[in-house]
Structure 1
Amino acid sequence: MSNEYMDLSKNNQSSVTSNQHSNFITDMKALVKSGVLIANALPVFAGFWLAIHFTGVSFFDHWGSFLLVMAGSTLVMAGALILNNWYDSDIDTVMDRTRHRPTVTGNFSLKAVLRMGIGATLAGFILLLFTTWEAVLYTFIGWFTYVVLYTMWSKRRYTLNTVIGSISGAVTPMIGWAAIDSAIHIVPLTLFLLLFIWQIPHTFAIAVRKFDEYKAAGVKMLPVVHGIDMTKRQMVVYVAALLPLPFLLPALGPLFMVIVTILNAGWLVLSFRGLFTGEHKKWAYWNFLYSANYLTIVFFLAIIVTLPAFH
């Protein structure tokens, strides 16, 4: 009996430990917004890869810079996202989509979250100091825009918070490129513009889907303040603004230009349909899915068409 009891006790302890580890990982993923973090890391990688391609240098001669810029920028972005969770803990309790975050559940104290956010940010910038000043500059612009101008200043005050916040994600390809060469180049600048424009209708789609939650939390999103119909009209305008961008990137080849143009046209049609439907949330859901996949396809495609096999 005693041996059976000991075995049962060990199994229970093992199960509790496993659950604790699982819960910690889940909390950390929520704290750094893992999906958002990955979506921002991809353009950094793409920017670095494209800089290698267009400058004609060897990747193997710059693998150290690659590791530093990827690790450094990811840590800074994680720090910014953690600080966003720390600052928004009050409104996160109101919104269903954010109630699972450890700042709401109490699994992490706000002091601990603040320390993690600052620590990740500082660690990231220390690593980036071993790359180039330009990479550090673009990373700082992204961090400052997201944490200070978006999270702390405009999010609860102005509908322009979406436009302001879009700058932070748009600098990501320039960070990767700047680790190799100056990002004052048509390719990273166009990718900056593409990301900047893309984020606005993408965020509008989220805001329409979660209209009731944003309204309850008092967040000044466009559909909450000026209505869903105006938001739909603005989405059409922003998606239409993406149409000329592939033609600024002939250096990426005709395949890239054709596919991205088709993607832009498809998104424009989907956005335009919103003007004639009353099923706002269903329409916004499909726009959200389309825009999320759009970003992944565009940046993976930019990497693929510059692989040696394509030249």
Structure 2
Amino acid sequence: MTKEIEITYTENETVIDGGKSGTLIADLKSLFKGPVLLANALPVFVGFWLALHFTGGSLLANGKLFWLTIIGSTILMAGALVLNNWYDVDIDTVMERTQKRPTVTGNISLKTVLGIGISMSAIGMIMLLFTTLEAAIYGFIGWFTYVIMYTMWTKRKYTLNTVIGSISGAVTPTIGWAAIAPTWHIVPIMLFIILFIWQMPHTFAIAMRKYNEYKAANVAMLPVVRGFKMTKRQMFVYIACLLPLPFYLGSLGMVFIVLATILNIGFLAVSIRGFFTKDDNRWAYVMFIYSVNYIAILFLLMVAVTLPVF
């Protein structure tokens, strides 16, 4: 589930470990997958926020814990993303959208990248251990499934890779919630399920758009292995599974249920359109854009309906 960014090189050049010249800031943004990192920080915040709401706590009174949770989880996720770049350098060389990553261009040596990935992973885990053990466990689950289970085991071999990778993204709100309270509550469970299911059509849309690149790199994405028709059917099924989930979050109020249901119906409608389109690439792009906006709006809506004005 990655939204890649284009790197624009400027005249301000920096060399790291004898690599090729390039913009240091741009290289670091690419190495840490900046947009992906920020996107994963939002569910952590929402999980933390909702835990405070349902336990009667306040953000001000838990300021130190909040920053430990947000910064620790973000650093841990950054470490996982860096290790992904380090391990995937061979296929990143083949795929056009990843050829400007510093691991491919040589702007940052692979030895340095490995050191950064390991160091940030360790620092992030240590910071989460200063929150609660449960939050740290969820953080480790996310790191382990992304780095070991997804990147190093399933990504190149099995279409199941998307399912495995979705676990790492789905645990993010449980990290935030667990820093405040135990996660045996319907809200964090639903947040996990929503994120897990949502990542499937989101990732499939990316894989359809980048079909030729994944095929050239021999990455076992569903569209490459089973074709577009099967992918569209699975996207429809996963999106349909999102329809009942807002009703399990009745504690967030009727406004949330209604708006979330409208978002789900719109998502399903776009999915159905895919069965009749003649331009799969354009449709996949629309699906990708809708999915990105869908999850951002849905999670921000959870915060909005729990503000004091509601």
**TM-score scaled to structure 2, two decimals?**
0.93
Unaligned runs of 5+ in 2: 1-9, 16-21
Superposition deviation, residue 140 in structure 1 = 0.4
User: How many residues matched?
Assistant: 295
Counterpart Cα distance in 1 of 2:123 and 2:142:
16
Counterpart Cα distance in 2 of 1:44 and 1:84:
21
* CA deviations over 1:58-106 (Å, ceiling 9, x no partner): 2222111101000100000000000000000000011111111000010
* CA deviations over 1:192-232 (Å, ceiling 9, x no partner): 00000000000000000000000000000001001011101
1:233 aligns with 2:233: yes
Give the letter aligned to residue 85 of structure 1.
N
- 2:36 is aligned to 36
Unaligned runs of 5+ in 1: 1-14
Structure 1 residue matching 2:274: 3-state secondary structure:
helix
- 2:115 is aligned to 115
- 2:273 is aligned to 273
Give the letter aligned to residue 301 of structure 2.
L
User: Residues 43-192 of structure 1 correspond to what in structure 2 (within 5 A)?
Assistant: 43-192=43-192
- Identity over aligned pairs, percent: 63
- 1:25 is aligned to 25
Counterpart Cα distance in 1 of 2:239 and 2:13:
44
Select the structure that is richer in helix: 1
Superposition deviation, residue 19 in structure 1 = 4.6
Larger Rg: 1
Counterpart Cα distance in 2 of 1:58 and 1:289:
34
- 1:215 is aligned to 215
* CA deviations over 1:30-70 (Å, ceiling 9, x no partner): 11111111110000000000001000012222111101000
Superposition deviation, residue 139 in structure 1 = 0.4
Give the letter aligned to residue 70 of structure 1.
I
Counterpart Cα distance in 2 of 1:58 and 1:191:
21
- 1:249 is aligned to 249
* CA deviations over 1:88-134 (Å, ceiling 9, x no partner): 00000111111110000100000000000001000111111110000
Superposition deviation, residue 255 in structure 1 = 1.0
Give the letter aligned to residue 262 of structure 1.
I
- 1:292 is aligned to 292
- 2:199 is aligned to 199
